[in-house]
Amino acid sequence: MEYVRVIFPEKRIVLIDGEEGGSTGRTLRVSEGTHTFKLDGLKNYKPNWRRPTVTGTNPNEPMEVVFEKL
């Protein structure tokens, strides 16, 4: 199991591979590998999506996936 924290200045639902995976600012669990991350709701962020390969994380050091507000 791997760990990711999606960063955005507002609370949003995080879509992981098209499915609801949790919310911004929280540590989310994903399987090891490449995943597509998007934010639900208004499209007032960039980039439109991120697709990192998640590996070598732990609950205390999750990968950060950052979206900027437009």
Q: Which amino acid is at 17?
A: D
DSSP-derived 3-state class of residue 42: coil
pLDDT reported for residue 58 = 97
Helix (H, G, I), strand (E, B) or coil at 69: strand
CATH number of the structural domain spanning residue 6: 2.60.40.1120
Number of separate domains in the chain: 1
- Its domain, for residue 33, covers 2-69
- Other CB atoms within 10 A of residue 50 CB: 15
pTM of the model: 0.95
Q: Enumerate residue ranges in the chain where pLDDT < 50.
A: none
Residue carrying the six token digits 């070598």: 56
Whole-number pLDDT of residue 12: 98
pLDDT (0 to 100) of residue 11: 97
Burial 6-15 (b: 16+ CB within 10 A, else e): bebeeebebb
